Structure 1
Amino acid sequence: MPSPTSLSILRERPYRLLWTARSISALGNALIPVTVVFAVLRSGGGAVDVGTVLTCHAVGQVAMLPVGGVWADRLPRKLVLMATDAVQAFCYGLLAVMIFLHQAAVWQFAVTYTIAGMAMAFFTPASRAVLPELVAAERLQPANALLGLTDSTTKVLGPALAALLLAVSGPGTAMLVNAVSFLLSFVLVSRMHLHRQARRSGRQHFFADLRDGWQAVARRRWYLANLLAWGVWNFAIAFFFVLGPVVMEDGHGGATAWSVVMITGSVGSLVGGLAALRYRPRRPLVITNAAAMLGVLPPALLAPPAPLPVIALGVAVTFIMTSLVGEVLATTQQQLFPEEILARVSSLDWMISLIAMPAGYAAAAPVAQFLGTRTTLLAAAALIGTPCLLLNLLPGVRSVRRLPDGTIGIEGERDTAATRPEATTVQ
């Protein structure tokens, strides 16, 4: 369990309000992936319609991430968070009303769910970028870890709660619960007083702002390589999620076995979140890239396939790693880049991840048909491990260290913009 020191971050009222708001809205939002599928089906839609609605949401989010990153750097981030809460409360409230009145059509689901996805594109970079304005730099990792642990917990509880609401009442109730969760989040965030606000640079053209943020990443090619390698990781791990059920269904335990694998993965995420509250590596990027090589376990173990307990253990270890690594990487990003461009940097990070995994989902089956399932899974394992191994050969990756004061900086840089949160330029 996390130590009292790890949880002491909750004594800081601004962070406590953000954490409570995020916890409530995350639990409400965790109801939606299951709920929206059955809402579309019960409104007369079919499998194609479900796919269309889910795709619209994903496309809306990915397309608007660059826009969300720019505006989360231009505007006070508290205001951006409140606006996204309000938009999502309206969207899910509207869907609930349409369902209760039996007036919901597939196109209405698609449009409303797309708008909700677009709002998430503003929320995601703003939510990460606002943390340095709430807590001291040396406390960023427990702050990130506690939020990540909450997200992992809600993803475990959300589907079960959604199933209960669907059985007892119907999809309209779950939609309404989510709308209320965003309203509560809006109220809590509105009461959040920032310790300070990041300085805003002079307003310029949108594309100039976008270019400046992304060029800050491109100037550090080793950091851009790190982001792209994690994109490759997400692309390759998607093959496991697509081909895993196929392998299990082919005489290796079927749906029950796959459920066991997914449950152990969820437990692993929670364990990794707890570990992130305490573990602060001296070389963040070196350790995270070395740990990421554990991602080879799920596809490699599935290829023979190994016995179910072995596969489940490998997945649990991988999920522990991804949960832990995710919070370390978020903290590193928040301290390597100036706060006034942090949302744009974060939006690029999220966009790479959100594009890579769906691309892997789409590619898995055709590649497996061409190469065979076993060869495809082994190739996916190689695609996961090789970039992680090569990244640690880059001097820039090895130069990122935890400093004596507990913050993260670059070895050899003194008083530079990249290692000071209050800075306004990037070295």
Structure 2
Amino acid sequence: MRDDAPAAPVPVLAVPGFRRLLAGRTLSFLATALVPTALTLAVIKETGSAGDLGIVLAAELVPQLLLLPVGGVLADRYPAQRVAFLADLVRGVAQFVIGVELLLGTARITDLAVLSAVTGAAIAFGTPTMSPLVTAVVPESARLRANGHLGVARGIALVAGPGVAGVLVVTTGPGWAFVLTALLFAVAAVTLGGLRTAPRAARDDPGTFFRDLADGWQEVSSRPWFWTNLLAHGVSNLAAGVLMTLGPLIAVERLGGEVAWVVVYQAGMAGMVAGAFLAPRLRARRPLIITSVCGALFALPLITFSVPMTTWINAVAYGIAMFGLGILNTLWQTTMQRHIPEHALARTDSYDALLSFAARPLGLAVAAPVAAVTGMAAPLLSAAGLVVAANLAVIALPDARAIRGRSKADVPSS
């Protein structure tokens, strides 16, 4: 055997600390997936007012949009493990208080809005910690597989969360549903609290908060392959908002009812899990070409719903689109972790999340008014065209084509 031959990579599940990281993040993913459905059902049960529901949901979203860059700075300045621990702990406390108020019958919309705002702020601080946590625990050769495992866990949580929340609310009441959610966040925080991570490199010049914020944007703007992908991701999320608004309406009015949309949606979630599972097994030498093609696949359900096709064709189209998203997310996170300096990883990731979080509500907001004027097909087909153009345009950039993916040590081993 040659002395310079690369050592066989350690299976990612055998990497010290990764099982704990995966368990903690899985619990956090599940708890996060429970909240929207439980909150929606709780508000409807308490007041039955769509306006109140809008206030509560907006109260969670606005702090996310405002504080995501701040969360990125904090996760780069301080150990990401501590930031994520505190974020989960705060979310757990907020959900517990909501549960107690619902059990005591003292819940008011003002209280729910304030606690939702606290939750949104905690999400903004916790979201940018994911990539720094992976790089602090997992060696580079195993990160693609680690991101694949995390992507599968996230997808399963998205599939299971709404159903579990609905069952809990129906069987135990919304109060106990929130108490259980709080417990999941608490266990997730404790699991993460015991995680051992690699020591962070000391910073020569700590700088000020605003300097760190500006430097984070510089890391984004100086890399054409990065910011063009951010724009493509934003367009895809905008299109997703259009589909999430008009798809259910079309399913109910033209495809036979709510069951049709449930079939389509679950096919999409299954596709996303399958994509995240497959991604580590791809020979992604030029990952941004693959992610661009996968992003463009989201045009498929937009086109099939614009006709509209049968429920099963729409389900297959959405399943393919989300299969592409599962691959995209896994390869994109791994590419970021490979090509963005670790000291700026959380800040750059926060801008990605910010654009995504902002674009989808915009799609949700504009889809129905535009469809009322032009009909359902026009916004869907327009969104499809934008998705294809924005994602495939990335391939034209030499900067994006030059990005390399897997090293020789990256092999599909679990």
Fold shared per TM-score above 0.5: yes
Aligned equivalents of 1:406, 1:285: Cα separation in 2: 19
Q: Is 1:162 the counterpart of 2:180 in the alignment?
A: no
> Which stretch shows the higher mean deviation, 228-237 or 332-341?
228-237
Q: Is 1:28 the counterpart of 2:31 in the alignment?
A: yes
- Counterpart in 2 of 1:357? 360
Find 1:38's aligned residue among 41, 46, 61.
41
- State TM-score, norm by structure 1: 0.91
Find 2:255's aligned residue among 252, 255, 264.
252
Is contact 1:280-1:328 (8 Å) kept?
no
- State TM-score, norm by structure 2: 0.93
Q: Is 1:96 the counterpart of 2:120 in the alignment?
A: no
Q: Is 1:79 the counterpart of 2:82 in the alignment?
A: yes
Aligned equivalents of 1:155, 1:96: Cα separation in 2: 22
Unaligned runs of 5+ in 2: 1-7
- The 3 A distance-change label for structure 1 pair 174 and 322 is same
Find 2:64's aligned residue among 47, 61, 65.
61
- The residue type equivalent to 1:236 in the other structure is A
Aligned equivalents of 1:88, 1:7: Cα separation in 2: 34
Q: Residue deviations 1:6-53, cap 9 Å, x none?
A: 993122231111111111222222221111112222333511101110
Aligned equivalents of 1:392, 1:41: Cα separation in 2: 46
Is contact 1:73-1:200 (8 Å) kept?
no
- The 3 A distance-change label for structure 1 pair 199 and 370 is farther
Q: How many residue pairs are counted as aligned between the two chains? A: 403
> What do you get for the CA RMSD once the two structures are aligned?
1.7
SS of residue in 2 equivalent to 1:141: helix
- The 3 A distance-change label for structure 1 pair 98 and 234 is same
Aligned equivalents of 1:275, 1:403: Cα separation in 2: 15
Q: Residue deviations 1:336-384, cap 9 Å, x none?
A: 1111111000000000000011111111112222322112211111011
Q: Is 1:175 the counterpart of 2:178 in the alignment?
A: yes
Task: Give the drift of 1:83.
Answer: 1.1
Is contact 1:6-1:142 (8 Å) kept?
no
Aligned equivalents of 2:19, 2:25: Cα separation in 1: 10
Q: Is 1:283 the counterpart of 2:286 in the alignment?
A: yes
Q: Is 1:114 the counterpart of 2:117 in the alignment?
A: yes
- The residue type equivalent to 1:205 in the other structure is T
- Counterpart in 2 of 1:203? 206
Aligned equivalents of 2:164, 2:315: Cα separation in 1: 24
Q: Is 1:213 the counterpart of 2:241 in the alignment?
A: no
Q: Is 1:383 the counterpart of 2:393 in the alignment?
A: no
Q: Residue deviations 1:296-354, cap 9 Å, x none?
A: 10011111112222111111111111011111001101111111111000000000000
Task: Give the drift of 1:225.
Answer: 1.3
Is contact 1:237-1:384 (8 Å) kept?
no
Q: Residue deviations 1:111-166, cap 9 Å, x none?
A: 00110110111111012222111111111111111111111111111122112211
Q: Residue deviations 1:206-240, cap 9 Å, x none?
A: 21110101111101123211111211121123212
Task: Give the drift of 1:247.
Answer: 1.8
- Counterpart in 1 of 2:346? 343
Identity %: 34
Is contact 1:261-1:311 (8 Å) kept?
yes
Aligned equivalents of 1:25, 1:383: Cα separation in 2: 33
Find 1:50's aligned residue among 53, 78, 83.
53
Task: Give the drift of 1:176.
Answer: 0.7
